[in-house]
Chains A and B, each alone.
Chain A
Amino acid sequence: MLIGAIISGLMFGLYFTLVGLGLNLVFGVMRIVNLAHGDFLMLGSFAAYWLFTLFGLHPLLAAVAVLVVFVAVGLPIYYGVVPRLLVARDSEMLSIILFFGLSQVIEALAAIAFGTSERSIPGRVLGSGPVSFLGQRLPSAWVFGAAVSAVAVACVYLYLYRTRLGTLTRAVMVSREEALATGIDVHRVSAIAFGIGIALAGIAGVFAPFMLGSVTPAMGADINVAAFAVIVVGTLGNPLGTVIGGIVYGIGLMLMQTYLSSWANLLPNLLLIAVLLFRPEGLFGRAVRRA
């Protein structure tokens, strides 16, 4: 049972890495807190649901469509609000309030458009029957979701470390002022990072019906807490630290569900508080405490 929990925890860990990755990328580049992250994820879920229900589109194709559309939507959102936020005296705090407002708008529009009932996509769409992995039998949808997550994380790595734009993005993450001074088009780099950030949320959303169960317009709030727990356990502002956070979170969740199932919902909350208080720099990295 322990081995089973750990292996499924690894699968979910990869998925939760994807859930948190975009949030952390946005934080790392812009030092703003996108409290609408969970709502962009929800929109990805509904995109996958409707593309499947209306056109029978496979989630993998839906993910590609979500990637393109969300990046395109992210750019105008960035230019509309973020530059104004960044000049404010307390941009982190204002960003959390503004994106909270945006999350309410998205949730309301989704509820008006789609209704508030729960939606799901049958798991067999991602392959039938359980898959054997290290002697454990796992639903093939989980394996599929984990694999897609791993590919997405690898793509973000390649983007950040193997492309010119990615190198500039990392430069902005190290120091926005220095990047400005060296003539980097900081807003262009940030806008693209913002688009990628919400697209990653959208892709995580496409697989949410398989990994998290049915989806509703109101799911964003819970996702936000989980995503924050993941990136705080990893390291705020370090996208690849998210992998650590995701895996710790995934394994922790599966262990709780196996041995203490009635208290499993406490995990993201307590993990988040505990790490913020006792190890605010994450397992390795930047402090968020005030002097």
Chain B
Amino acid sequence: MRDARSVSGLRRVFGDLLLAGVVVAVMAVAPSVYSNQLLLFNFVMFLTLSQGLNVIYGFTGYLPFGYVGFFGAGAYGFALAVMHLHAPPLAAMAVGAAAALVLAVILTPLFRLSGAYFAIANLAAAQAVYEIVSNPALEDITKGPYGVSLSGVFAPETSYAVSVAILAGTLLLVVWLRNSRFGLSLRAIKEDPISAAMAGVAVVRGRTIAWLCSALIAGLVGGAFAWQISVFYPETAFSAQFSIFAVVFTLFGGAATLTGPLLGVFILYGIYNTIGITVPQYFQLIYGTLIVALVLFLPNGLVSLLTKRGIRVP
């Protein structure tokens, strides 16, 4: 009995790893067969951001509507390190990641709020960070609303490779959360924090770890974004679009799974790139309608069509 369980457990881990490996391999070789590298970067970016959001929303139930705050903190941390410290890009990415982590630590008191208020307060926090970074009074430090130019470190191939590595690390983290005891304890916290505490789970600690991991991922992606495009404005790096897309892709595919957010990105971001760029309103209309329909008819996303029938999806 016990052996059968661990064999099926191993099979599950293997299935998850296989899916993660295929996605990483495809994105890694894609630039050699498809020339629009910026578009590929955007795919990698949203694949990673959606999984990063999945870490906190899927496994703890807290929806960070202001997820872009960490992304922007990462992008500006990178930019400030390059501009003021003349840091090499990888060191600058570490600074960006640290900035996102600091912001996450500052925001941990938000977990005292229940879900809906957490979401709104997090949105307000991301906007507050944007208002600070873009403020003309801080032009000497952040260049205020006028944006930053980092052309000295522009290296699209390298930054693309780094972003694929971040994606790989993020997918591994999600695989681990799905198959480890720690991930199980997070799901217990999500279901009921009081019962979880009485089962001996350190609720605050578990949530905080998931939160910091999620913020770290967004910060790293933000740094890679800054490195990849090298010229940007605060309203680019803090665009609500990043949060919205990450939320929509994750919800559409199905949170707390590995497949769900991946599916969401490949399908919806694929549609966006087909029809959305010239007339973004039509894409907005589509995903807005999808969200309403999902909440009403399929609250656990596309993958729940299979999981409801007892089929395990990676």
A102 closest partner in B (C-beta) = B292
CB atoms of A108 and B119 under 8 A apart: no
Contacts of B291 in A (CB 8 A): 97-98, 100-101, 104
Stretch with Cβ within 8 A of A (4 or more), from B24-32, B37-45, B279-287: B279-287
| A278 → chain B closest CB, angstroms | 9
| In the complex, per-residue mask of A212-252: 1 if CB is within 8 Å of any chain B CB, else 0 | 00000000010001001100000000000000000000000
CB atoms of B285 and A109 under 8 A apart: yes
| A264 → chain B closest CB, angstroms | 9
CB atoms of A266 and B131 under 8 A apart: yes
Contacts of A85 in B (CB 8 A): 295
The DSSP consensus for interface residues of chain B is helix
B290 closest partner in A (C-beta) = A101
CB atoms of A97 and B295 under 8 A apart: yes
B129 closest partner in A (C-beta) = A269
Number of B residues, CB within 8 Å of A: 44
Rounded to whole angstroms, the CA-CA distance of A92 and B287 in the bound complex is 21
Contacts of B61 in A (CB 8 A): 90, 93
Contacts of B127 in A (CB 8 A): 225, 269
Contacts of B251 in A (CB 8 A): 97
Query: With an 8 A cutoff between CB atoms, is A134 at the interface?
Result: no
CB atoms of A98 and B296 under 8 A apart: yes
Query: With an 8 A cutoff between CB atoms, is B128 at the interface?
Result: yes
| In the complex, per-residue mask of B118-159: 1 if CB is within 8 Å of any chain A CB, else 0 | 011101110110011001110000000000000000000000
A280 and B113 in contact (CB under 8 A), knowing A81-B296, A272-B121, A273-B128?
A: yes
| In the complex, per-residue mask of A259-291: 1 if CB is within 8 Å of any chain B CB, else 0 | 000110110111011001100100000001111
CB atoms of B63 and A105 under 8 A apart: no
A90-133 residues with Cβ-Cβ distance < 8 A to B are 90, 92-98, 100-109, 111-112
Contacts of A106 in B (CB 8 A): 288
Rounded to whole angstroms, the CA-CA distance of A97 and B251 in the bound complex is 9
Q: Which of A92, A109, A112, A269 contacts B114 (CB 8 A)?
A: A92
A276 and B295 in contact (CB under 8 A), knowing A104-B288, A109-B285, A291-B194?
A: no
Q: Which of A33, A96, A269 contacts B131 (CB 8 A)?
A: A269
CB atoms of B288 and A102 under 8 A apart: yes
Rounded to whole angstroms, the CA-CA distance of A221 and B282 in the bound complex is 18
Rounded to whole angstroms, the CA-CA distance of A229 and B125 in the bound complex is 12
Contacts of A268 in B (CB 8 A): 124
Query: With an 8 A cutoff between CB atoms, is B169 at the interface?
Result: no
A264 closest partner in B (C-beta) = B131
Query: With an 8 A cutoff between CB atoms, is B117 at the interface?
Result: yes
CB atoms of B194 and A277 under 8 A apart: no
Contacts of A276 in B (CB 8 A): 110, 113, 117, 120-121
Contacts of B123 in A (CB 8 A): 225
Chain A positions within 8 Å of B, measured between CB atoms, are 33, 81, 84-85, 88, 90, 92-98, 100-109, 111-112, 221, 225, 228-229, 262-263, 265-266, 268-270, 272-273, 276-277, 280, 288-291
A94-B299, A280-B112 known; 20 new pairs, CB 8 Å cut-off, are: A85-B295, A93-B115, A93-B116, A95-B116, A102-B288, A103-B288, A104-B288, A105-B289, A105-B292, A107-B284, A108-B288, A111-B281, A221-B240, A225-B123, A228-B124, A263-B131, A269-B131, A272-B124, A276-B120, A277-B112
Pairs A–B under 8 Å by Cβ, sample size 12: A94-B295, A96-B119, A101-B291, A105-B288, A108-B285, A112-B282, A262-B136, A265-B131, A270-B124, A270-B128, A273-B121, A273-B124
